[in-house]
Structure 1
Amino acid sequence: MEAEQIEQIRDFNRYYTRRLGLLADQYLGQDRPLGQARLLFEIGDGCDLRDLRARLGLDSGYLSRLLRALEEQGLVSVDAHPDDGRVRVARLTAAGRAERADLDDRSRERIAGLLDGLDAVQRDQLLAAQQQIHRLLRLATVTIEHVPGAAEQARECLRRYAAELDERFAEGYDAAALTPAAEVTGEQLLACEDGRPVGCGLWTHLEPDVAEIRHLWVAPEARGLGLGRLLLERLEQGAAADGVATVRLGTHTALTEAIGLYRRGGYREIPDYSPSPYNQLAFEKSLQSS
């Protein structure tokens, strides 16, 4: 990344935080800073403190201080979960719910004021740009790591993958067709967003210099980010680094999104090479020329 790109992003961040009033101790005119106001929004109808920490990326000490301040204001209560005393749950009091409603109204008024200076076309352009920024920033924070074939998070991804195929295929899908952990002779990738698995894929050797990519999947909540293409590229890179010259893959005609991804990625259709009944279309790509 070029230094100029970094500075442009820093400049945008400074402008955006100032314009939205994120630097003030009284966010949106309420008698509290942004951190406390954000907690009122996130707690909603009740939230496990562990989920709050993970969702907001806060350490336990800082979260405790924020919650204590809100408790002292009578806006939040923190109690043990009724089914598990080890779990602490934060809930808004009646005063907290009223304060959150006021916060929502103030926030909407502030945004409406910002948009009021733009015409309809410009507003649409702004919203489209924000959506693109959101997608790209989410993709930038997704981690992709190599995991063993038997890694539980990866197997859970594969179970979700199988369950989705069972719904989408007219003939259903038998989870027994999933590649056993012991047959992952290449590598398996796991994609996580905020610590939650949102995608997977693997490749395994067919011949010394030929590999097959299998079970490339992105969770519904992470689709539209470009994660499928990124996983596919990482699998290809890993196979090429291992001396693989050609990769193949099979897919079902119902998976139109996957077919489009493979064609855009440089795969060409070939005769069927696999005994899998779910591989109704077969593709191949030379890694030497890619």
Structure 2
Amino acid sequence: MAQASPDSGQFTIVPEPITGADAAVVLERYVAELAELFPAGFDPRRAAPPEPGDFSPPRGYFLLVRDGSGSAAGCGAVRVLEPGIAEIRRMWISPVLRGQGAGRALLGDLELHARKLGCSAVRLDTAGELGAARALYGSAGYAEIPAYNDNEYARHWFEKVLP
């Protein structure tokens, strides 16, 4: 799904395999940024690791964000957590696209893909250090809920009933 970006011209958001080369690039950048932000670093294997196939149909989707030049500049994943409930994971936008609507567009596309998976609600968790993410989720209609997983990096858990 193409989205207009006021400052950089365009970005696109499309499902791609999480095993692809561009997915590896953005996931590495995501992990590196979290490692810098978190006082004790970040090990993605300790953050409620997914099962193989979680982010591929029919159990989920991995979405890649590309900037106007076609470079990989963000990602997000959605998977079925339990019947009727999806979970958003690994949502990240490159600093070059931040503030241009890419994060909000990605969140909306992840919600659309959750609906394709037959889910009527979406959950996600986030770290205390990620204030901008919490603000985005709140402004997009997510309500804070009690912890639904044991992700040691998470300090906030959210849910949204999809329209």
TM band (smaller chain): 0.7 to 0.9
What's the CA shift string for 1:185-207, capped at 9, x where partnerless? 31010011111111100001111
1:155 counterpart residue number: 24
Specify which of 120, 125, 140 is matched with residue 250 of structure 1: 125
1:187 aligns with 2:61: yes
1:272 aligns with 2:141: no
Question: 1:34-183 residue pairs with structure 2 within 5 A?
Answer: 135-136=5-6, 138=8, 141-176=10-45, 177=47, 179=50, 182-183=53-54
Q: Distance in 2 between matches of 1:152 and 1:196?
A: 12
SS in 2 for 1:157: helix
2:87 counterpart residue number: 212
Q: Distance in 2 between matches of 1:250 and 1:267?
A: 11
| Identity among equivalent pairs (%) | 40
SS in 2 for 1:221: coil
Q: CA, structure 1 residues 274+228, in 2 after alignment: closer, same or farther (shift >3 Å)? A: same
Shift of 1:232: 0.1
SS in 2 for 1:206: strand
Q: Distance in 1 between matches of 2:148 and 2:77?
A: 18
Q: Report if aligned partners of 2:143, 2:160 keep a CA contact under 8 Å in 1.
A: yes
SS in 1 for 2:72: strand
2:78 counterpart residue number: 203
Q: What runs of 5+ residues in structure 2 fail to find an aligned partner? A: none
SS in 1 for 2:122: strand
SS in 2 for 1:220: coil
Q: CA, structure 1 residues 199+181, in 2 after alignment: closer, same or farther (shift >3 Å)? A: farther
Q: CA, structure 1 residues 181+154, in 2 after alignment: closer, same or farther (shift >3 Å)? A: farther
Q: Report if aligned partners of 1:149, 1:182 keep a CA contact under 8 Å in 2.
A: no
SS in 2 for 1:238: helix
Q: Distance in 2 between matches of 1:141 and 1:172?
A: 33
Shift of 1:135: 5.0
Q: Distance in 2 between matches of 1:233 and 1:286?
A: 13
Shift of 1:181: 5.3
Q: Tell me which of the two structures has the higher relative contact order, counting C-alpha pairs closer than 8 angstroms and 6 or more residues apart.
A: 2
Q: Distance in 2 between matches of 1:156 and 1:232?
A: 20
SS in 1 for 2:119: coil
Q: Distance in 1 between matches of 2:145 and 2:87?
A: 13
More helix by share: 1
Q: Which runs of 4+ in 1 moved over 3 A?
A: 177-181
Q: CA RMSD in A?
A: 1.7
Q: CA, structure 1 residues 135+203, in 2 after alignment: closer, same or farther (shift >3 Å)? A: closer
Q: Distance in 2 between matches of 1:182 and 1:156?
A: 19
Shift of 1:284: 0.2
Q: How does the TM-score come out when normalised to structure 1?
A: 0.51
Q: CA, structure 1 residues 230+135, in 2 after alignment: closer, same or farther (shift >3 Å)? A: closer
Q: What runs of 5+ residues in structure 1 fail to find an aligned partner? A: 1-133
SS in 1 for 2:96: helix
